[in-house]
Chain A
Amino acid sequence: MVKLIINGMEVQAEEGWTLLEAIRWVGFDVPTLCYHEGLTPYGACRLCVVEIGKEPRSKLVSSCTYPVEEGLIVRTHSKRVVNARKMIVELMLASSPQSKTVQDLASQLGVQQIRFKVEHEDCLLCGLCVRMCAEQMMAKAIDFAFRGGDRKITTPFDMKSEECRRCGACMYICPACQLRCDGPQAEQDICNACLQITPECLKTYDDVMCYLTTCGACLKQPETKQKETKNNKS
């Protein structure tokens, strides 16, 4: 067992765990995008960064790829970490504003502005589809090609792949293919609609229940939602 300190709490973790596994095991959460439990961690989106070590020599590492170490001091929500995550989401919003995952992350982290030119690039190059195809579908039909700004996901030589069985797993797992909800702010680059809605569950329960599962409030039709909000106000 490896002993480490997460947010001031001493935690025992199994050898070979990643920091993210240890963090989630004790119940803290850090946002992720390119991470999936069933796939090898890749560390592309950098959203899961945490601060390790003691200041001033502390540094940020991606918790999904960093292994647990004896005595490591980890802070999952330091100011530096939170600001960095916000900037990452702002970058993502500016390039892929139509992704539900990114819009949800923006609401979750309270990102309410985009200071970059908005483009519609869709693909975040998180590599979930590549790993899904290789590790779960055993196909290896797609992979990354080129580097820098030219990097993209494609089949070998951009040709129709013999390996691809059209299973659709790549689309299933893609955070950019899943379009943002058609909420009241659909015209805008930042939705943030969930922030303005009173969660449905409060009508029935005393506590917000959405930590269990997505509450679904934002999936409603805009008209009914608007009516409800009016009703709630009155």
Chain B
Amino acid sequence: MSRIKSIEELEKLRETIIEKQKARKLSIAICNGPGCLPLGSRKITQAFIDEVKKQKLTDKGVEVRATGCHGFCAQGPLVVIEPQGLFYQGIKVEDAPEIISETIVNGNIIDRLLYTDPDSGEKIPLEKDIPFYKSQQRLISGNNRLIDPNSIEDYIAIGGYKAVSKVLSEITTEQVIEEVKLSGLRGRGGAGFPTGLKWKLCHDNPGDTKYIICNADEGDPGAFMDRATLEGNPHIVIEGMIIGAYAIGAHEGYIYVRNEYPIALKRAIRAIEQAEKYGLLGEDILNSGFNLSLHIVRGAGAFVCGEESALMSSIEGKVGEPSQRPPFPVQKGLWRKPTVINNVETWANIPHIINRGGKWFASMGTEKSKGTKIFSLVGKVNNTGLVEVPMGITLRSIVFDIGGGIPKGKKFKGVQIGGPSGGCIPEKLVDLPVDYESLTSAGAIMGSGGLIVMDENTCMVDIAKYFTNFLSEESCGKCYTCRKGLQRMHEILTDITEGNGKEGNVELLEELANVVKDTTLCGLGQTSPNPVLTTLRYFKNEYESHIKEKKCPAGVCKELITYSVDPEKCTGCMVCLRNCPADAVTGAKKQIHHIDPEKCIKCGSCYELCKFDAIKIE
């Protein structure tokens, strides 16, 4: 492939690829996303490739495609057969021959691999009819299954780099910025700063050297939106960055990927290489005279490097510590030059905005929060996975319509939204619309989009302790209040969960949390008390029962609970007795067992294993 030298050549290439792809009669798209890979989707892909070869179907237009994340991780590994969109779930290597001969060759649907609606018990063959997908609006993630992330041609075929050619040929930099401003797009990295305004500020700053950065240092526990985007569709991020660079006048850019994402890293590197080869990056892009080179920088594992000023320090080769703003990155950013830094998802929105117009984008969402947002829906919810929803959707829709509610019929308690420094939103606010303002007023943040669902068996003090511990370990340690404040908060929370809580602890926690929030330099520190503050705001009674009654209502905090056997329900089956690692269970066959509280280490294995619900936690 030689360099594409003009927009006409790009269009011609697109037509050639589409023409070539018409030979594809059937595509088997196998999810190789972060959720399905550990379940063996790489081997499954190989099995399909071998089987297609064996049955000599390659010439008949059957294509096997390893794609990025499809979203429905709970049912993985997933296989979707195009063009119908037939959805198979929980695929194993052994299923490959059957799918090929039954579905591909004979056109029969295999019932046992279909998704079953838990309410009606009906089998649902098509992906688009599954409730999990129905309420979503998959603007960015929807393309994942249509393309092979390693192939720039696949991306060009679905209209890739159209926005770049449009921008470079027809529109001025001001118009690009105007369009992005009109779209109302706000930063998807957490703070929600209007993207168009950020670009405008950087554009208006004088200087020949400017930089653009893509922040792919996603470190929130349980969140993998950016990873899935970069792994599933790296070119859309690059395309967004080209447009951004053109708008602000940058000729060099960086993608900062955390090293813990080896696949995303590999795909991003390959995508850049391909784009360079095709002449979509480098000197004189599409004969427009515009140059841009992109580089990859690998993050070294510090959570705080997701904060923009720390990230830039890290690129410069310094210690990843946040620095004073102002000057803001748009004034003095990377190497003291004006810099625009946006998150992966923000960049991925840009080509859509250019192609379909800012007005169209602004038609989605609420008054102040536009477009869609990807959340990683995890925790105590049936349909875990990546969901992309329009802004303003209620939490109820996400948790119950898309997420399918809480497993085992347990009671919904709340969600933890916005990553470790997000907040816990209680069940009573389940109708809260998900947008920047509503979440902030509820004490949480949009963050990058982690959404952890919690059921009645979750102790909120324990949750606050967990996140406070995470943040205190990941604090860079520069600000005394963040480092010491978080350590002290964790110390108090540990005391409370271990039954050493004292009168006045709650007040002290609240006072300290507010000071940490007020006095710390960077976003990490300022939002770090959110887990404590929101749990105190909505679940104060749980703190009080820990402190006053020395009881953990959710039955989580080991020091505050005892396991015992309910004599009414115990059948004397000896399962708990045999599995107790501490030999704390005594009893004989068909006789009621007894747990020795002295020996019990409160591991909970008896509770998990008992089929008769005979183990009580108090």
Chain A interfacial positions (CB closer than 8 Å to B): 42-46, 49, 59-60, 62, 65-67, 69, 80, 83-84, 87-88, 91-92, 94-95, 115-117, 124-127, 144, 146-151
Contact = CB atoms under 8 A, between A and B. Distances in A.
A117 B478 CA distance: 22
Interface string B472-489: 111111111101110110
Given A69-B326, A144-B319, A95 B484 contact: yes
Contact of A148 (B477, B519, B520): B477
Interface stretch (B74-82, B160-168, B508-516): B508-516
Nearest to A126: B480
Contacts of A95: 484
B479 A44 contact: yes
B17 interface: no
Nearest to B508: A115
Interface string B321-358: 00010110000000000000000000000000000000
B504 interface: yes
B302 interface: yes
B304 A45 contact: no
Interface string B446-473: 0000000000000000000000000011
Contact of A91 (B324, B327, B481): B481
Contacts of A69: 326
B491 interface: yes
Given A87-B515, A91-B485, A151-B483, A46 B520 contact: yes
* Top-6 shortest CB links A-B: A151-B477, A65-B324, A87-B515, A46-B519, A148-B473, A60-B518
Contact of A60 (B326, B483, B485, B519): B519
Contacts of A43: 324, 478-479, 521
Given A43-B521, A149-B487, 5 more contacts: A84-B519, A88-B481, A91-B481, A116-B491, A149-B472
A96 to B, nearest CB: 10
Q: Which residue of B483, B488, B504, B519 has the most chain A CB atoms within 10 A of its CB atom?
A: B519
Contacts of A144: 319, 477
On chain B, which size bracket covers the interface?
Answer: 20 to 34
A195 B390 CA distance: 60
A42 B302 CA distance: 21
B512 A87 contact: yes
A117 B504 contact: no
A143 to B, nearest CB: 8
Contacts of B488: 91, 94, 116
A62 B326 CA distance: 12
A147 B520 contact: no
B483 A87 contact: no
A148 B480 contact: no
24 contacts: A43-B479, A43-B521, A45-B480, A49-B519, A59-B518, A62-B521, A65-B521, A66-B324, A84-B519, A88-B519, A91-B480, A91-B485, A91-B488, A116-B488, A116-B491, A125-B478, A125-B480, A127-B478, A147-B474, A147-B475, A147-B477, A148-B472, A148-B483, A149-B483
Contacts of B504: 115
Contact of B475 (A88, A94, A117, A148): A148
B327 to A, nearest CB: 8
Contacts of B327: 67
A95 B304 CA distance: 24
A149 B518 CA distance: 20
A25 B198 CA distance: 35
Contacts of A67: 326-327
Contacts of A45: 480
Nearest to A80: B518
Nearest to B322: A43
Contact of A84 (B326, B477, B518, B521): B518
Nearest to B479: A46
A116 to B, nearest CB: 5
A66 B480 CA distance: 17
A116 B502 CA distance: 12
Contacts of B480: 44-46, 88, 91-92, 124-126
A91 B484 contact: yes
A41 to B, nearest CB: 8
A87 B491 contact: no
